[in-house]
Structure 1
Amino acid sequence: MPPPVPAVRRMSAVGSRLNPDKFLGQDYYQLHKDYCQNRARFLDSTFPPNESAIGPGLLDDDEMKNVEWIRPTKMMSDPQLVVDGESRFDFAQGDVGNCWFLSAIGAITFQREIMEQIIPSGQSFKKEYAGIFHFRFWRFGKWIDVVIDDKLPTIDGELIFLHCKTRNEFWPALLEKAYAKVCGSYADMNGGFVSEALADFTGGVHMTLFPKEERPELWGLMYRAVQYRSIMGCGTPQGATSANTELPNGIVEGHAYTVTGVTKLKSKGQGVKLVRLLNPWGRGEWVGDWSDNSPLWKTVSSEDRTKWLDSKNDGEFWMSMEDFCKSFVNVDVCCLTPAFLDGSSPESWSTKQYEGCWDEKTAGGSMEHKQSFWTNPQYQVKIPAIEGDEADVQGLNLLVSLMQKPDKRRRSLVEHLHIGFSVFRIPPEMKDQKAFPASFFSPNTLVSQRQHSSNTREVMEFFKMKPGRYLIVPFTNKPNSTTSFLLTVHSKRE
């Protein structure tokens, strides 16, 4: 069993967990106080409950005409923010294609500390109710506090978007509205990657694993990630004809799922590695080996069957690691520490974040552009030698993440550049050099390169590096492509 993850160090700087930045300048506590004193209900002028908040393309003209924005206190006599704690089974997806967002919500319900960070305490439909709520998200290096009014879009009295299975529970619908405000509208949440929401819910270490690569340590990494209280999501490949087609085996194409469990059981005397998954629709399950009604469950002990099997049509199911690797194309892991990579102590890793940009002087393009590549931003990192018994077992010791920042308010209008980073070994005789000229960058010094051809906002990779000094160069594929970025480097210490 790994050592416990330490509590995050509390900081008072604006944008920290304890002191999040006020999104759009709105101070929840002051607004709440003012509206309570005036016995009025808050109406958010920065995200007004109208057609613009829903956004284009989600509803047709007739549906839009029938939309009525209603406060929960007008929907029923006893609305609650949370009923019997937050659960991954609380909610069901509405008319937005945001399964990536719901998959992440299902993951964070396992983590009380994360839920308390995202949904601040003291909010209620009863005590000092003023129609105002707030939620917190991590966005591009800092925490933000997002204020909303509680008017929710309905048609014929029913919520259009994310809703709770318990009719008087409203935390999922209000959380979705707060995130829609950050994105620009509900329509701006249509389509995305679960990795994006996992990062925005935690501000933690993110990495993407690829089952198709058949990494022999994949199950071990996922198992350790659970021990270190990580949250995980995964995705299926896009279908040949259309997205969200349900296959005969119950798996939905082009869909995001939540990883809710990883375990190993004995079946017929042999160890079987299993993964538990949740469909954020709240229905639709795998029907193959180790599914709810699979006869294979009769081959394990009654104790294991009682502990792990829950035969309900709730969208959650087990499958073998082999079937998981055949059905899913990526696994996104988000954790407060990369220590799960090798089962080490969280204190043995250090983290540095750098905010930078590619501008007219520093957007040098990829290594294909030899005359300008050297003008890209440059960052140095030192990998120390490990002494003692572990010296010959140099494991994963460097994790690099490059995230580009949006240049537009609305999420759907952001055009991500194709970005990447190169890692070069710095010779000992150049260890004191501050900047490196064009002549330094050659295939002889290149250690690794990671880049995306798709439009994801983040590129990451983890490495096994020999002791020494290294240079990290973030780049855009084409020169003169300008935007801001956040570079995060996690390195193993002595």
Structure 2
Amino acid sequence: MEMTAEKEGLFVDPDFTVDDSALFSDYTTPLSRLTGKVTWLRPQQICRSPCLFPDDITEAHPKQGILGDCWLLCACNMLLKSRYLLDQVMPPGQCLWGQRGYTGQFWFQFWRNGHWTEVRIDDRLPCINNTPCFSHCNCPVAFWVALLEKAYAKLHGSYERLWAGQVCEALVDLSGGVAERWSLKKSVNTPVGQSLFPELSENIRKWSYVSCCVHEDPTGASEQGQFHALSVIEWKDVKTTAGEQVQLLRIRNPWGRRCWEGAWTEGGAGWTMLDPVCSAALLGNTKEGEFWVDKREFQQKFDDITVGYPISEDHHLQSIYTGSLLTHTQQIGGSWIKGFSAGGCRNNSSYSSNPKYWLKVQEGGEVLLSLLQHGPWSSMHNFQKGQSVDNTRQHPYYQAIALHIWKVDKKRFNLTRTLNSTPCASSLTHTYEREVVVHAHLSAGFYLLVPSTFLQGAQGHFLLRVHATCSTFLSAVKVSVQQECGGGEWELESVSGCWTVGSTAGGSRNFPSHGKNPHVPLIVTYDPGGTNVKVTLCQHSPENTLHAIGFHIYKVSGDVECMVISGMVCPVVSCVPHAHSHEVSVQCRLPPAGYVILPSTYQPDCGAEYTLTIARKIPRKAISCQEHLGQAVQETSHVSVMGL
């Protein structure tokens, strides 16, 4: 049925082949029933005149197929509200079907761990009976949704790994911005959620993205009992014939069918309270798969609400609380390492060993801080319907994380006393989320930021981000008090970087391009005898695309930047052989001197992001930090996924 790529001369993606490896990862979802039923077709084999987008933009909304990725499709609606974001994710100028130069290749960009990552695919799509079986566009000849979904599946490792996830994660991946999620139920300690609607101005409602989810099964909405996510398309303030103000919300179901039996469904009692002309106009604007609810019904029936911050064309976030542009942005990476910087929550005496950061606020203003743990890209693909989501269940992939902030005098404060005091702002609880967000109004001065996991010794890498209306400066506290390890105190430093194909991906010492690898300086000033340096290299790649990694440490002769590493230069320490693992490390003793570390993949031109963590012993007496809290800090978690 399918024309061969060789005859067409069209691009065939060698890294995401059209077979079961692209569809499945572990065969643990209902998708496994499709084995042997799927054929892969290019758009021009599916319809006569394929296009990316329909002429009528209202027909461009995503429509869910048999894959449980409503969380991604709800986030895709955000791109239809912002041409800037759409062009960022799907760069313009790509050659389409019927155009000269068409090769069957498309490329997308997704924001990942602080950087935009390019993903290239061919346009062969999984089909059943000559029709795309996964997500597609409301317009059957438009293919932007199906192609974006394929690129996102490639980034995760397979389509199956898109089964169930969080809308807030997809919103961040498609925008590089920030999203917040609250529970609308009084039983959960999220007071902001109860007063969220009055705080969203009309302008914010227009440009932000809002999604909602129902956990329980209301009458007549069977798919919503499966953590199904839906999109809030429109907000409308209307007056009843009695003069009362009513706020209506238009909701869209990615399944493409209406699934609500409230007062504002077509023919419902709510419409009789409005002027017939107003009712007819609102109902006439309702597309397939959409329905209306009022604010009171929404808050009663829905469980979760997710809000994505608007992003201006100048790359600035707009506060959903005040509407102000957060024009000052900075980010920095870090790590929790067992035995060094994984101190756990405030219930542990080792809390002070967690990574610490300075935040300098120049004039005072509105500040948004977010802590994002890297984690596996496919965070929820093993979550099955029916599994417990109670407050004690540990997330199978992410750590429970939190961020606490104290105002201090720079370098002139008692660490123990400060950490035992009440933070000026925090994420309140440790939660099994990829990202936690703290919103605050901070006065001018210095602040101590401490990201932590709930469990002591829990390892991971994270990204700390700051968005503010005022000038801020974020930096790591260079001397971090660590747990004792053979006596003394350790200084911890984390450096994030990447191997770039054709530039800094030089490969191992077996290749002449080895010297092109990133150069990370290392200064050793203290040698008490025994191990005084520990280096850990972690690559941030999905499990099925890991490269063989390792590193070499060279003694510096002259300027680090000008130092040429050739096959004639021998390292003083090596972490070899290169291993196909997320993380490799070495402990060693180095005499006081200047060194340079070259992290590398074994083969040249293997692109990936990495974090290099360096621990050095320093000649200072370790500080003892024992907390005496009046009561245990209440740590709760809440996990919900939207997929079916």
Query: Which residues in structure 2 correspond to 1:279-318 (within 5 Å)?
Result: 279-301=253-275, 304-305=278-279, 307-310=281-284, 312=286, 314-318=288-292
Equivalent residue for 1:483? 460
Q: Is the 8 A contact 1:164 1:173 kept in 2?
A: yes
Shift of 1:307: 4.8
Partner of 2:352: 374
In structure 2, distance between residues paired with 1:182 and 1:85: 30
- Choose 302-311 or 200-209, whichever is displaced more: 302-311
Seen in structure 2, the aligned counterparts of structure 1 residues 228 and 175 have a Cα distance that, compared at 3 Å, is same
CA gap 1:407/1:312 in 2 versus in 1, 3 angstroms: closer
The yes-or-no answer on 1:185 pairing with 2:167 is no
Tell me the CA shift for residue 224 of structure 1. 4.4
Show the counterpart of 1:119.
Answer: 90
1:106 aligns with 2:77: yes
CA contact (8 A) 2:324 2:469 kept: no
Give matches, 1:290-439, under 5 Å. Answer: 290-301=264-275, 304-305=278-279, 307-310=281-284, 312=286, 314-335=288-309, 336=311, 337=316, 339-346=318-325, 349-360=327-338, 361-370=340-349, 372-383=350-361, 397-407=366-376, 412=381, 415-426=397-408, 430-433=409-412, 437-439=415-417
Offset of 1:202 from its aligned partner? 0.9
- So what's the TM-score if we normalise by structure 1? 0.80
1:184-203 correspondence runs (5 A): 184-203=157-176
1:273 lines up with 2:247 in the alignment:
yes
Distance 1:247 1:300 in 2: 25
Deviation at 1:369, TM superposition (A): 1.1
Range that drifts further, 88-97 or 255-264 = 88-97
Q: 1:340 to 1:410 in 2, by over 3 A?
A: closer
- The question of whether the paired residues in 2 share the 8 Å contact of 1:183 and 1:411 is answered with no
Greater CA drift, 458-467 or 262-271: 458-467
| Equivalent of 2:432 in 441, 448, 455 | 455
| Cα distance change on mapping 1:450 and 1:53 into 2, 3 Å | same
Q: Secondary structure at the match of 1:461?
A: strand
SS of residue in 1 equivalent to 2:77: helix
- Paired residue for 1:255? 228
> 1:13-24 alignment to 2 at 5 Å?
none
| Matching of residue 44 in structure 1 with residue 26 in structure 2 | no
Separation in structure 2 between the aligned mates of residue 397 and residue 60 of structure 1, nearest angstrom? 45
Shift of 1:290: 2.6
Structure 2: gaps (5+ residues): 186-190, 383-395, 472-644
Answer yes or no: is the 8 Å Cα contact 2:105–2:121 preserved in 1: yes
Matching residue's letter, 1:122: G
Give the deviation of 1:416 after TM superposition.
0.8
Give the secondary-structure state (helix, strand or coil) at the position aligned to 2:254: coil
> Residue 141 of structure 1 aligns with which residue?
114
Alpha-carbon distance change, 95 to 62 in structure 1, aligned in 2, over 3 angstroms: closer
SS at match of 1:412: coil
Name the residue aligned to 2:616.
none
| Structure with more strand by fraction | 2
User: Residue in 1 aligned with 2:209?
Assistant: 231
Q: Secondary structure at the match of 2:207?
A: coil
Normalised to the residue count of structure 2, the TM-score between the two structures is 0.62
Shift of 1:485: 0.6
1:71 alignment counterpart = 42
Match in the other structure for 2:509: none
Give, in whole Å, the separation in 2 of the partners of 1:110 and 1:216. Answer: 26
Instruction: State the 1:198 CA deviation.
Output: 0.9
Matches within 5 A, 1:152-167: 152-167=125-140
* CA shift digits 1:49-107 (9 cap, x unpaired): 11010012456777312221111222233222222154466442112111111111223
2:419 aligned residue: 441
Larger radius of gyration: 2
Structure of higher RCO (CA pairs closer than 8 Å, 6+ residues apart): 1
Deviation string, structure 1 residues 243-296 (Cα, Å, up to 9, x no partner): xx5633678222101111123111121111222211111112322123333343
Give unpaired runs (5+ residues) of structure 1. 1-34, 240-244, 387-395
Distance 1:61 1:296, change over 3 A: closer
Kept in 2, the 8 Å contact 1:81–1:125? The answer is no
RMSD: 3.0
Deviation at 1:357, TM superposition (A): 1.4
- Residues 119/216 of structure 1: CA separation in 2 closer, same or farther (3 Å cut): same
Cα deviation 1:161-188 (Å, max 9, x = unaligned): 1123433221111111011011110000
Contact 1:58 1:96 in 2 (8 A): no
> What are the Cα deviations for residues 359-408 of structure 1, in whole angstroms up to 9, with x where unaligned?
242111111112x211211123345667xxxxxxxxx8232211100256
**Aligned length in residues:** 437
Instruction: Please give the alpha-carbon distance, in whole angstroms, between the structure 2 residues aligned to 1:313 and 1:227.
Output: 20
* SS at 1:192 equivalent: coil
Question: Alignment partner of 1:84: what SS?
Answer: coil
Counterpart position of 1:96: 67
Q: Which range moves more in the overlay, 104-113 or 300-309?
A: 300-309
Letter of the 1:54 partner, please give it.
L
Q: Which amino acid aligns with 2:306?
A: D
Distance 1:170 1:60, change over 3 A: closer
CA contact (8 A) 2:329 2:468 kept: yes
**For residues 89 and 11 of structure 2, what CA distance do their matches in structure 1 show?**
21
Q: Is the 8 A contact 1:226 1:261 kept in 2?
A: no
Contact 1:292/1:312 (8 A) holds in 2: no
Following the alignment from structure 1 to structure 2, what is the Cα–Cα distance between the partners of residues 473 and 61? 43
Larger mean Cα displacement after TM superposition, 300-309 or 326-335: 300-309
Please tell me the residue identity of whatever aligns with 1:143: W
CA distance in 2, matches of 1:402, 1:408: 16
Q: Cα 1:302–1:114, aligned 2, differ >3 Å: closer, same or farther?
A: farther
The answer to whether the 8 Å contact 2:336/2:342 transfers is: yes
Q: Given residue 472 of structure 1, which amino acid in structure 2 is its aligned partner?
A: L
Q: Do the aligned residues in 2 keep the contact of 1:232 with 1:258 (CA within 8 Å)?
A: yes
